[in-house]
């Protein structure tokens, strides 16, 4: 009988371990998100109305898709668009390369350059805000958690790359008032319209966001199969390069689209 219980206990422990492992990334992700949100809420609460924060915004784009933004802070100095990154390990990257590198336990992983990613968010936000708010400065901020060690000493001209506790410093670097009270209020009202009102709506927005991304990916794949350039509509031609065979656009060098053929 004793053996039976021991085995049962071992089984349960194994299941528990597997469950924890499957949830790990999600937990670390939400913990990081929680830390940044807390830092922002703290700044907001102690600013006596100077800063107003908006979390998890889905900005509609012209093509019917949406751009998801982690946080936006509204101030008299303009808007701060914040992208959170939950990576740990050593981070290498510069402002213009398409990918950055994470090095952890001697393993290297590539991820999309968060500055370029945030640039896309800001472009979507600008497009959606329209002419009326075209004069408002928008500042780009990428926040890494302290688990990440930033290893490049590259200088970033168009974005801040910081840890949560440096956020306040970033905001305070901007002191010149560029928005009047009325404009600030109208901006706040407009930003309210792209926030999820409750959990259900948030889920719905997220679902639609993911769906449109998938549809777009499928379209891109179809175009490539039919040798149509997904970027400019040109014709794709099979070429041989240093790194193997690839499809390239006939509008090169104007269009730099390429797709390697494995």
Which residue in the block uniquely carries the two structure tokens 């009202």?
189
Residue 255 interacting with Zn ion (CB under 5 A): yes
Q: Looking at beta carbons only, is 103 or 255 nearer to Zn ion?
A: 255
219-238 residues near Zn ion, rule: CB under 5 A: 229, 231-232, 234
Residue 233 and residue 224 in contact, taking contact as beta carbons nearer than 8 Å: no
**CB of residue 251 to Zn ion, shortest distance in Å:** 5
Q: Looking at beta carbons only, is 150 or 252 nearer to Zn ion?
A: 252
Residue 49 φ/ψ region, left for φ over 0, alpha for ψ in the -120 to 50 degree band, beta for the rest: left
Q: Looking at beta carbons only, is 104 or 235 nearer to Zn ion?
A: 235
Residue 187 and residue 194 in contact, taking contact as beta carbons nearer than 8 Å: no
Residue 104 interacting with Zn ion (CB under 5 A): no
**CB of residue 110 to Zn ion, shortest distance in Å:** 24
DSSP notation for 11-66: HHHHHHHHHHHHHHHHHHHHHHHHHHHHHHHHHHHTTTTS-EEEEEEEEE-TTS-E
Q: Looking at beta carbons only, is 53 or 229 nearer to Zn ion?
A: 229
**Near Zn ion by CB under 5 A, which window of 21-29, 149-157, 205-213, 248-256?**
248-256
Q: Looking at beta carbons only, is 57 or 249 nearer to Zn ion?
A: 249
Rounded-to-integer distance, Cα 235 and Cα 14, Å: 54
Q: What's the distance, CA 139 to chain centroid?
A: 15
In sequence order, the β-bridge partners of residue 67 are: 59
Residue 247 interacting with Zn ion (CB under 5 A): no
Binding pattern to Zn ion, positions 146-185, x when CB under 5 A?
----------------------------------------
Rounded-to-integer distance, Cα 159 and Cα 142, Å: 7
**CB of residue 249 to Zn ion, shortest distance in Å:** 3
Residue 115 and residue 161 in contact, taking contact as beta carbons nearer than 8 Å: yes
Q: Looking at beta carbons only, is 96 or 250 nearer to Zn ion?
A: 250
Rounded-to-integer distance, Cα 149 and Cα 163, Å: 10
Residue 257 interacting with Zn ion (CB under 5 A): yes
**CB of residue 127 to Zn ion, shortest distance in Å:** 22
Binding region for Zn ion (CB under 5 A): 229, 231-232, 234, 249, 251, 255, 257
């Amino acid at each position: 009988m004793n053996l039976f219980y021991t085995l049962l206990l071992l089984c349960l422990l194994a299941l528990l371990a597997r469950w924890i492992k499957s949830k790990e990334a999600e937990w670390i992700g939400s913990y990081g998100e929680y830390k940044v949100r807390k830092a922002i809420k703290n700044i907001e609460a102690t600013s006596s109305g100077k800063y107003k924060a908006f979390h998890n915004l889905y900005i509609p784009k012209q093509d019917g898709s949406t751009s998801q933004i982690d946080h936006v802070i509204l101030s008299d100095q303009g808007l701060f668009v914040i992208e959170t990154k939950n990576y740990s390990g050593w981070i290498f990257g510069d402002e213009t390369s398409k990918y950055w590198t994470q090095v952890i336990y001697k393993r290297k992983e590539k991820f999309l350059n968060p500055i370029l990613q945030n640039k896309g968010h800001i472009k979507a936000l600008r497009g959606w805000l329209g002419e009326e708010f075209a004069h408002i400065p928008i500042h780009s901020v990428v926040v890494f958690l302290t688990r990440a060690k930033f290893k490049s000493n590259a200088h970033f001209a168009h974005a801040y790359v910081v840890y949560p506790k440096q956020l306040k410093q970033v905001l305070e670097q901007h002191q010149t008032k560029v928005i009047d009270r009325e404009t600030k209020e109208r901006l706040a009202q407009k930003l309210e319209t792209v926030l999820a009102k409750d959990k259900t709506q948030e889920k719905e927005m997220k679902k639609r966001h993911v769906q449109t991304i998938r549809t777009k990916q499928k379209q891109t794949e179809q175009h490539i199969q039919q040798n149509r350039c997904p970027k400019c509509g040109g014709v794709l031609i099979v070429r041989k390069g240093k790194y193997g065979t690839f499809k390239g656009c006939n509008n090169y060098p104007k269009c730099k689209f390429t797709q390697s053929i494995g």
